[in-house]
Amino acid sequence: MAGGTLAIFDLDGTITRHDTLWPFISGFLLRHPSRWWRLPLCVAPLLRYALAGRDRGALKGSIIRLTLGGAPRAALERWAARFTQRLLRTGLYAEALTLIATHRRTQTHLVLLSASPDLYVPDIARALGFDECICTEVRWRGNGTLDGALASANRRGEEKARCVQAVLARLQPRLSQAYGNSRADLEHLRLVDAGTYVNGRSEEVLHTPSVHVVRWSTPGNEGTLAAIQGL
């Protein structure tokens, strides 16, 4: 697509109105109460995170492995489909949906780039019409059950910026845009021609004229979702 337009969207807090990993895990556990005994085991990695370096990737892999490890792929895929449909109905920003629809109408190359895992992020990307999905990958066992440890780097901060640099080098767009909502996203928002910092603090981008702050608050509805799915 050399010479075209590129838009890269973060997921949690940018398209969605809240984080997605814990709702995904808790929803699966709610439907599988035999796994509830695993929850107290999560205290140990939480303590390690708080006391020994705050490695988000290690924490994420440990929590997924402790809560969902051993679950069959088919069961997780069924839940991912239900979770995605529920999220689309009630958990997205209308402003994000409107922008995605606009980008699709103008044939912008859309990339969903998320630190959340590939247990469900690709489902969301397909439902919203993204051309590419880059997210944190998890490991599976040879018998078709989930291991849960991370099989890739945690796609956050420096790693997310590396992914953006790779996409820019590969696609060589005429115009590049990116949307994110956390301070960790600022690293990759500064790499594109126009960065949008969703619900961020203006003082954090005072010296970065290519990044501007927007306020999103409107819950998406069936109408705004239909504008995307009907394209």
Q: What's the Cα-to-Cα distance from 99 to each of 94, 103, 210, rounded to whole Å? A: 9, 6, 18
Residue 74: pLDDT over 80: yes
Q: What is the pLDDT of residues 3-44, one digit of tens each?
A: 799 999 999 999 999 999 999 999 999 999 999 999 999 999
| Domain 5-229 CATH assignment equals 3.40.50.1000 | yes
Parse the chain into domains and list their residue ranges: 5-229
| pTM of the full structure | 0.95
Mean pLDDT of 201-226: 91
Contact call for residues 175 and 164 (beta carbons, < 8 A): no
Q: What is the pLDDT of residue 227?
A: 73
Nearest to 204 by CA among 225, 218, 190, 222: 190
User: Using 50, 70 and 90 to split pLDDT, how confident is the model at 222?
Assistant: confident
Residue 223: pLDDT over 70: yes
Contact call for residues 209 and 39 (beta carbons, < 8 A): no
Q: What is the pLDDT of residue 53?
A: 77
- Pick the more confident residue, 119 or 225: 119
Q: What is the pLDDT of residue 229?
A: 75
User: Using 50, 70 and 90 to split pLDDT, how confident is the model at 170?
Assistant: very high
Residue carrying structure tokens 């590419």: 132
Residue-level length of the chain: 231
Residue 1: pLDDT over 80: no
Q: What is the pLDDT of residue 121?
A: 98
The helix, strand and coil proportions of the chain, stated in percent and rounded to the nearest 5, come to: 50, 20, 30
Residue 200: pLDDT over 80: yes
Q: How many CB atoms lie within 10 A of CB 38?
A: 17
HSE-CB at 57 with a 13 A cutoff on CA atoms is: 17
Q: What is the pLDDT of residue 20?
A: 98
Q: What does the block give as tokens for 35?
A: 């796994």
Compute the mean pLDDT over every residue in the chain, rounded to the nearest whole number.
Answer: 95
Mean pLDDT of 191-203: 97
Q: What is the pLDDT of residue 100?
A: 97
Q: Which of 176-180, 211-215, 223-227 has the lowest mean pLDDT?
A: 223-227
Contact call for residues 160 and 184 (beta carbons, < 8 A): yes
Q: Which of 14-28, 51-65, 141-155 has the lowest mean pLDDT?
A: 51-65
Dist. CA 54–CA 19, nearest whole Å: 18
Q: What is the pLDDT of residues 95-144, one digit of tens each?
A: 999 999 999 999 999 999 999 999 999 999 999 999 999 999 999 999 99
